Structure 1
């Protein structure tokens, strides 16, 4: 499975031109923390977002140029949406969120994962999100890199080092705009953000400038990991994944024999058993044998007949395909006459979106010159090392119902990495990841969620790996309390991920302190 096919699919490229049209308010909104002459052009009316029938609170959105002296239609500008927190404990914390792709919009994360309003597949309308991350910290969702969503301009980056450098330059402009100097930064994301987060985090840390780049930790989900694609670790992880979800897949015995033959012929289970050990065998590792036994390709061919609506991001899903207001469930489907949320003219006006692209898409591009990221797994590992060793506060979460990057693919990749003087985990994960039990009542049906034991968790030398049993690829979407708890831990609000101590804030749909 190629690097890009192991991630969120990239939709068609739309030319990216024209700067955003910004209409500043003429009076200060009530209870606004960041509203001033400099930020007023970006203010989003808290009750003025079409389709959203409730007050989302203070927020700011729009484009800021990478170079403030270059503001033409072809000059690069990142689009962001910033929700300040009213939580006193989080006033000095800033969380940056990236989605994956490469080229997939972080507005998907805001709208369906960890933002203040949630409009998930097949639901009637947006609802307040009791698990919004801005209840814990200031959160900024950024469409990254240039070429993604409303982040427009000529694409010049040839690799992830260059996109990170571009972001770091832009980040200083955003900090100066909102007066965020000295804030503690936490870099977060999912999927291909497994590349973005270490590269951006390391680039910030390398600046040695705590005024603008005071990185204190990172949290990212179901990520692209160094060497995982090069070594074909997804193939070695697949047989165990298939056995775990076998009853869900419902594949006939005659077809299972094809998968069994692939496993036996190329020694896939044997590879996993030899490498997913504690401590692990020293690197470099030989790649998994895949020639003549394409087990994932055979599975997809068989499974698509059994379940044509198979969702690679959440394997429990079946037909029918649900309408997604962002146009991107696993099967891309937009009913005739429907308009994607971020193509509604009133929405675009409210968030100061640019005139182009005329058609926003969840995933777009290219975001690298020649549509090639020139990925370097060794460099990726070095960025990971920098991030872990300079913060000692990095966590990866892995949804066990994710097919596109399975939990054991991630676990195998971790065992092949070095950080803080050793390779991989030295002892096997055994602790239970515990989330406080949620009070689900008739009054909060739209935010019902599970608690108790949600997976496993293990930490060594400043790095934590956690699994979430029922979650798919997007953990904040499929298991919001689990992701909320993990963010609490990274921010230092709770001491343990194995103890059911209460959440650090009241869990409700109120955005007014104390929630």
Structure 2
């Protein structure tokens, strides 16, 4: 009872210090009444008039996954001369994840790898990445049309944009406020995808994400890797059922985390550095950054308790207290995603977000894609609140990465160096502190210039299958700011070419 009282006290103290939200990553949000009075927010349901099997070109199932199905259609939007698919992964637990797939522009279908992309939030649609950052088209001002993105990541790779967790974008159904649970559904989605499209059976798999993708990507990779190990063990022992022979070892080759939150204990230490002593002009006064530094030891103690117990009573107070350290930055009016510019255009500080909403809420676009819901939700306050109340924010998802490295799976962590909220100082620091067999050697590697078209695009270091890349002149949504350089980064990565 004392622990609950202490937790409630910290929650109320942090809430009292909070100001209205500017965007998901800094927001404190008015979620306490939901916690005490009504529980988690209600799930979103399909719009009955939009649900029809007639609109799908095919519906795929697997005997090995009796609780799942994949509904698929072929839209003609965004990149009309590119093979594309959209649809839903359905589960019998009323979970419906929306996806949009684009084939590679400049590589053979059977040889190009697959990149699975997930945006963060938590609670933001991956179509932000599609229409603002790295998709084959970018939405135009006003949201009525799109134009070609010459630096799209489907240059030499097939790319899947997946709306997860549930109730963001066009996804809907029973709420899931846990990155690990969502990862297991993504594993089943990929099994069904490879089963449904044998023409991509040779395609290596790369799982990438941004921001809260620092949680999603390790959780998804863990589900895939452990699913592969379990399948292989049963196969070698001759214990697969007839239905299970439909499944496969998913060809997980690498993961990539861009400006992510993975190790809060390390990363929160560097907010004062980015605010006052970065390579860009300071945003805050030095005394404000000194106050951040004085608050960090308490923040660290709370995060350590979360890392130890990994439950809501330990993790929620850590999130509330530590995020209160960031309020002076929020009040400054500077874009937390890019310290070079002011926050404009509403909750995500970019006017293009309103254009994305307008485009994806067009009924004709929704009909072409096959949406089962009449409202596209770019970032869901309800989903954000659910993740906060579940304690997911501060959990140590970086600890899922060493088993991947030891298994030979390649890991790329990259960060635009103008981002505040998941800044490159903190991201580089946690990669250096990560406990794995190559820690010492990775830490002693020298940073080297990464050159694109004769100019330094950033700095990189690599030891064996682990790489960190700092991207010059890019904010949180690095492909938006440095499209050409980020495409170079991806193409080098998927083709196993060095950065220096």
Instruction: Tell me if both proteins adopt one fold, taking TM over 0.5 as the criterion.
Output: yes
Rate the CA distance shift 1:65–1:435 in 2: closer, same or farther, 3 A: same
* Residue 491 (structure 1) aligns with: 494
Rate the CA distance shift 1:171–1:159 in 2: closer, same or farther, 3 A: same
* Residue 400 (structure 1) aligns with: 417
Equivalent of 1:206 in 205, 226, 230:
226
Report whether the alignment pairs 1:220 with 2:245: no
Aligned residues: 419
CA distance in 1, matches of 2:322, 2:183: 38
Equivalent of 1:243 in 277, 289, 300:
277
* Residue 344 (structure 1) aligns with: 362
Deviation track 1:384-441 (CA, whole Å, cap 9, x = no partner) reads: 112222234211111111011111111222232112353683215420121225xxxx
Note the 1:236-385 alignment, pairs <5 A. 236-239=270-273, 241-244=275-278, 247=281, 249=283, 256-259=285-288, 261-262=290-291, 296-301=326-331, 303-304=332-333, 310-318=334-342, 321-322=344-345, 328-329=348-349, 340-356=358-374, 358-363=375-380, 365-366=382-383, 372-375=389-392, 380-385=397-402
Report whether the alignment pairs 1:475 with 2:478: yes
Distance apart, 1:340 and its partner CA: 1.7
Q: Normalised by the size of structure 1, how large is the TM-score?
A: 0.70
- Please list every run of 5 or more consecutive structure 1 residues that lacks an aligned counterpart in the other structure: 27-37, 272-287, 305-309, 438-451, 499-515
CA distance in 2, matches of 1:42, 1:11: 37
Rate the CA distance shift 1:185–1:110 in 2: closer, same or farther, 3 A: same
Note the 1:63-462 alignment, pairs <5 A. 63-66=88-91, 70=92, 75-88=94-107, 91-92=110-111, 93-119=113-139, 126-155=146-175, 157=176, 159-179=178-198, 180-208=200-228, 211-226=248-263, 228=264, 230=265, 233-239=267-273, 241-244=275-278, 247=281, 249=283, 256-259=285-288, 261-262=290-291, 296-301=326-331, 303-304=332-333, 310-318=334-342, 321-322=344-345, 328-329=348-349, 340-356=358-374, 358-363=375-380, 365-366=382-383, 372-375=389-392, 380-420=397-437, 422=439, 425-427=442-444, 429-436=446-453, 452-462=455-465
Rate the CA distance shift 1:57–1:292 in 2: closer, same or farther, 3 A: closer
Rate the CA distance shift 1:266–1:161 in 2: closer, same or farther, 3 A: closer
CA distance in 2, matches of 1:44, 1:496: 36
Distance apart, 1:244 and its partner CA: 2.9
Deviation track 1:44-71 (CA, whole Å, cap 9, x = no partner) reads: 02xxx4xx6x7352211121213xxx3x
User: Is the contact made by 2:137 and 2:147 (CA closer than 8 Å) also made in structure 1?
Assistant: yes
CA distance in 1, matches of 2:322, 2:87: 50
Rate the CA distance shift 1:489–1:399 in 2: closer, same or farther, 3 A: same
Deviation track 1:165-188 (CA, whole Å, cap 9, x = no partner) reads: 122123222222222445311000
- Please list every run of 5 or more consecutive structure 2 residues that lacks an aligned counterpart in the other structure: 1-13, 16-20, 31-40, 58-68, 233-247, 301-317
Distance apart, 1:107 and its partner CA: 0.8
Q: Normalised by the size of structure 2, how large is the TM-score?
A: 0.72
User: Is the contact made by 1:235 and 1:295 (CA closer than 8 Å) also made in structure 2?
Assistant: no
Rate the CA distance shift 1:386–1:460 in 2: closer, same or farther, 3 A: same
Distance apart, 1:455 and its partner CA: 1.3
CA distance in 2, matches of 1:98, 1:367: 15
**What SS does the corresponding residue of 2:281 show, helix, strand or coil?**
helix
* Residue 440 (structure 1) aligns with: none
Rate the CA distance shift 1:106–1:267 in 2: closer, same or farther, 3 A: closer
CA distance in 2, matches of 1:266, 1:8: 17
Distance apart, 1:145 and its partner CA: 1.5
CA distance in 1, matches of 2:281, 2:293: 21
